[in-house]
Amino acid sequence: MSAMEIESPPPPTAEEEAQLKQLYADFERHHMMPLWTQTNDLMPFTPKPKAVPHVWKWSDLYPLAKRSGDLVPVGRGGERRAIGLANPGLGGHAYISPTLWAAIQYLGPRETAPEHRHAQNAFRFVVEGEGVWTVVNGDPVRMSRGDFLLTPGWHFHGHQNATDAPMAWLDGLDIPFSQQMDVGFFEHGSERVTDYATPRFSRGERLWCHPGLRPLSGLQNTVSSPIGAYRWEFTDQALTEQLLLEEEGQPATVEQGHAAVRYVNPTTGGDVMPTIRAEFHRLRAGTVTPARREVGSSVFQVFEGKGSVILGGTERKLDKGDIFVAPSWCPWSLVAEAQFDLFRFSDAPIMERLHFDRTHVDGGER
């Protein structure tokens, strides 16, 4: 838009200033606030998040989680031994972004985290370890390295560690959204998990994890995915095939050197839960992705490999387990030194369902 010449009004007289002061006082008394003094804040030209880009190092996170395992019991009341990553820009809230919660949860040998359910949607991603089973609506789901697990809104769930070793993992939820938008409900369930079995595959997987096949007993679409665990072996294989197909000259990757899958609800082909998108990305060594800005926030955790992220213009080295957040409209670009595997989750379903989604990719509007 071209610049515009606006004729400035004459400066107010002393009497006018007094009247204005009185007007603003009367506004306040009647719980009113003028728009004209705050337009820029309320309606910025582009998103101006309070949340800042930030990296948490696994080498900090895991030892702290372990220390809490020694000092803090897990049980009814506190419910979970989970430590939230608090975005430094969000003023003392344990929110990694205005919509998303990310935490390290730690369960000691033979411990049980009691069952409960809540309207908030939750998932787990396992960057290392094994031995815990999450029981979701009575179905025990094994947790192992590389697995992505769901506990969608209003599903009862608890955790039990069936081994003598502790285990830690990443919890992701939409707590900040639900908290700010006043949508949360919560209910306690069993003090213990309702099934201490430790099967290799959950019933949900046995019913649903057959590619392209849908049980006739499950023809009704579900709001969230009926798959309790998305196993690493499938994720790894899918990414491997994409890179092989790319080598064969076939279209399969997002962009050169960049393979990626989205975890989906098999009843719809859409996102696993109504508020959270989850993906896994693999970059060939040497790949640098073009800088992307997106409406909404994303969180990444390095699963394996070596590289860095250029986040809001600053490059930051990343090691296994490191977690970073890209707030809304903050540009991010991944740089792979070696093959680089990253888990990603975001609030994209919120943005898309409400039609606020926009993406800008350097070198081409998408």
Q: Map the footprint of a second copy across residues 258-287, applying CB under 8 A.
A: 260-269, 274-275, 279
The token duo for 20 is: 């204005």
Q: Binding of a second copy at residue 177 (CB under 8 A)?
A: yes
Q: 244, 314, 319, 338: which one contacts a second copy (CB under 8 A)?
A: 244
Cβ at position 164, least distance to a second copy in Å: 21
Q: Binding of a second copy at residue 293 (CB under 8 A)?
A: no
**Residue 235: φ, ψ to 5°:** -60, -50
State which residue, 139 or 335, has the beta carbon closest to a second copy. 139
Q: 53, 58, 99, 302: which one contacts a second copy (CB under 8 A)?
A: 99
Q: Binding of a second copy at residue 68 (CB under 8 A)?
A: yes
What is the C-alpha to C-alpha distance for residues 297 and 72, in angstroms, rounded to an integer?
Answer: 31
Cβ at position 306, least distance to a second copy in Å: 22
- Beta-bridge mates of residue 55: 324
CA nearest neighbour of 151 among 51, 79, 63: 79
What is the C-alpha to C-alpha distance for residues 100 and 178, in angstroms, rounded to an integer?
Answer: 9
CA nearest neighbour of 200 among 160, 140, 147: 140
State which residue, 106 or 335, has the beta carbon closest to a second copy. 106
Indicate the residue type of 241: E
What is the C-alpha to C-alpha distance for residues 179 and 122, in angstroms, rounded to an integer?
Answer: 14
Q: Map the footprint of a second copy across residues 317-336, applying CB under 8 A.
A: 327-329
| CA dist list (Å): 286 to 46, 78, 337 | 32, 45, 6
Q: 58, 107, 118, 318: which one contacts a second copy (CB under 8 A)?
A: 118
CA nearest neighbour of 294 among 336, 253, 349: 349
Q: 221, 313, 314, 362: which one contacts a second copy (CB under 8 A)?
A: 221
- What is the DSSP secondary structure assignment for residue 317, as one 8-state letter? E
CA nearest neighbour of 187 among 272, 129, 249, 114: 114
Q: Map the footprint of a second copy across residues 36-55, applying CB under 8 A.
A: 36-39, 41-49, 51, 54
Cβ at position 161, least distance to a second copy in Å: 17
* Region from 127-135, 285-293, 304-312, 345-353 binding a second copy, contact rule CB under 8 A: 345-353
Q: Map the footprint of a second copy across residues 124-163, applying CB under 8 A.
A: 153
Q: 178, 289, 298, 301: which one contacts a second copy (CB under 8 A)?
A: 178
Q: 58, 85, 167, 289: which one contacts a second copy (CB under 8 A)?
A: 85
Dihedral of CA 355/357/360/365: which sign? negative
Q: 134, 151, 160, 242: which one contacts a second copy (CB under 8 A)?
A: 242
Residues 6+ apart with CB under 8 A from 219: none
**Please, are residues 160 and 135 in contact by the beta-carbon 8 Å criterion?**
yes
Q: Binding of a second copy at residue 247 (CB under 8 A)?
A: no
Q: Map the footprint of a second copy across residues 301-320, applying CB under 8 A.
A: none
Q: 164, 182, 256, 363: which one contacts a second copy (CB under 8 A)?
A: 182
Cβ at position 157, least distance to a second copy in Å: 13
**Please, are residues 169 and 127 in contact by the beta-carbon 8 Å criterion?**
yes
**CA 355, chain centre distance (Å):** 19
Q: 144, 161, 253, 308: which one contacts a second copy (CB under 8 A)?
A: 253
State which residue, 164 or 217, has the beta carbon closest to a second copy. 217
What is the C-alpha to C-alpha distance for residues 304 and 306, in angstroms, rounded to an integer?
Answer: 7
* Region from 162-170, 204-212, 311-319, 333-341 binding a second copy, contact rule CB under 8 A: 204-212
CA nearest neighbour of 346 among 255, 288, 280: 280
* Region from 29-37, 128-136, 160-168, 307-315 binding a second copy, contact rule CB under 8 A: 29-37
Q: Binding of a second copy at residue 351 (CB under 8 A)?
A: yes
Q: How big is the site for a second copy, counted in residues (CB under 8 A)?
A: 142
| CA dist list (Å): 247 to 243, 276, 339 | 6, 32, 15
State which residue, 249 or 363, has the beta carbon closest to a second copy. 249
